[in-house]
Amino acid sequence: MNKVEAINEKAKGYQQVLAQPWNVLGYSLRQHNLAKHLAEAVSILDIGGGSAQEAVDLARLGHMVVVLEPSTEMAKQARTNIEAAGLASCIQLYDTELDKAQEYLEAEAFDVILCHNVLQYLPDREKALGQMAQYLKPGGLLSLVSLNKYSEPFRLATQQQSIARAREALAATSYTTEALGVEVALLTVEDVTELAKTAGLSNIAQYGIRCINDYVLDNPSKTPESILDLELELCDRYPYYLLARFFHLLFEKVSVS
């Protein structure tokens, strides 16, 4: 079973996954970071847009959004959510993957591309970043979120209280997601930045998503509301964002003169 097929199987419960407190927190932080870079209405390409939660929220702010979603089951949810929000005129949805996007999209067509929790699923990340760069206008932005390899030993040692597993994680190169049961790559900021540079993308900002949440044992006082203010304080403050559960990078497409 490939990753898209695995996601199809889990898609029916995906809305419940998004509603989990830690995912609500992560989404709020991601939107907070992204808003700093979206001063006006722009054209956005959302790669692996899932159930279109982000596309719907961005369209409500006046942006025009195109969503690529290779999972047929997830795309069904996205279509339902787009229609329910009355935003079919603002959001285009294509049931396809990045590799086949040229059938639908023109080069240099977008001001912003979102690659949120997608890159770690892709087998050829260098190729994928090159493809993303092709669809960006000169000076356009790529917003990229991925699981942070450096966070895993700390999460296992603190939240999961397993020193043995934390030690094993030091050498790990992959991780099986709890929500979808899919094996993904454990990436670092350095790895992604180097690949992006090859694609003509320059790193202009770095944030951390969930700098604290994943290192706190579950308890009644641990709620998104109670921890959000602290997370907002730390998300762009060095060195705290270096160990966040997810890194959030903003890249600019370098104009060629």
**Is-contact 98 131, C-beta < 8 A?**
yes
What domains can you pick out in the chain, each with its CATH number? 3-148+185-253 (3.40.50.150)
Burial class (CB in 10 A: 0-12, 13-18, 19+), 123: exposed
Taking only the tens place, the pLDDT of each residue in 41-71 is 999 999 999 999 999 999 999 999 999 999 9
pLDDT of residue 1: 57
Residue 209: how many other CB atoms lie within 10 Å:
28
Which residues in the chain come in under a pLDDT of 70? 1, 6, 256-257
pLDDT of residue 126: 98
Tokens of 249: 């990078």
Q: Which residues contact 117 (CB under 8 A, 6 or more apart)?
A: 48, 145, 146, 147, 246
Which residue carries 């970043």 as its tokens? 129
End-to-end alpha-carbon separation of the chain, Å? 46
| pTM reported for the whole predicted model | 0.94
